[in-house]
Amino acid sequence: MITFIQAIILALFQGVSELFPVSSLGHSVIIPAILKWNLSQDSTTYLAFLVMLHLGTCAALFTFYYKEWIQIIKALYKSITSKKMAGTYEEHLGWLLVIGTIPVGIAGVLLEKRVKDLFSSPLVAAAFLVINGFILLLAETMKRKNVAKELKSIQDMSFMQAFIVGVCQAFALIPGISRSGASMAGGLVEGLNHEDSAKFSFMLATPAILAASLFEVRNVLHAPGILKLALLGAIVAGVSAYISTRFLVRYFKSGNLMPFVYYCWIIGLLSLFVLKFIY
């Protein structure tokens, strides 16, 4: 059974690391191992708790962008019912998000269990956290080489570019690879600036997190004993995710991914050292 303190710590890390490009899934694997928590990460109770944390994060993302989401849903509905494209920003963004969600949806259904079974050990998650740092560094390097080119806005993105960013997001099924980091890296390589890349990444994460949570919601139904603690965790994760989103949206107006590169390298290497040579 998860304790109150464990629940709060995991919820805080989930809310923050889901938006910061440092892998929430990797942290959920590494933290219990580093702190020597006696948790079975394959148990129904633990999975139910993680589902609620993800729902809290999803609620925070939707709340932050709720005005745009309402307009996007209306535009998509109008586009589908009229069977034609109006060419508005909200409609274009909506279809970009739909297409960008397809790769992670397919990968989640076909590969998620296999990937988690193969890569979900703390040592492997720590190693992929280091690799995540190199992915962010590569994206920054490629972005700087393209600095002379005209930067695209989200409105200028093609459906193929959205699909490529979605493919990048799908790699976050591997613990240690960040969902927001991978999709931001894809956005930067495709020509978006940091601000638009972060926004598209956060909005693209919303349906992906929601779909994954609803797919696993049966775990909550099979673990009613954890419900109160899971609801508390969802609230904590949601609040921390909302604060993180506000911070990152402002940060990426002028900041870049390099601080997160160093974080991934330091935490990943320290975790590898502790797990390999001390425990």
Query: Residue ranges per domain, the chain?
Result: 4-278
Q: What angle do CA 117, 43, 172 make, to 5 degrees?
A: 40
Q: What is the pLDDT of residue 172?
A: 87
Choice between 220 and 168, residue whose per-residue pLDDT is larger: 168
Q: What is the pLDDT of residue 151?
A: 62
Phi, psi at 152, each rounded to 5°: -85, 150
Instruction: Write out pLDDT tens, residues 144-194.
Output: 876 545 667 888 899 999 999 999 999 988 889 999 999 999 999 988 999
Instruction: Write out pLDDT tens, residues 22-53.
Output: 998 899 889 999 998 887 766 777 777 888 89
Tell me how far CA of residue 142 lies from CA of 133, 155, 197, 264, in angstroms. Answer: 14, 22, 14, 19
Average pLDDT of the chain is 89
Tokens describing residue 131: 């690799």
Q: What is the pLDDT of residue 112?
A: 65
Instruction: Write out pLDDT tens, residues 129-147.
Output: 999 999 999 999 988 876 5
pTM value is 0.90
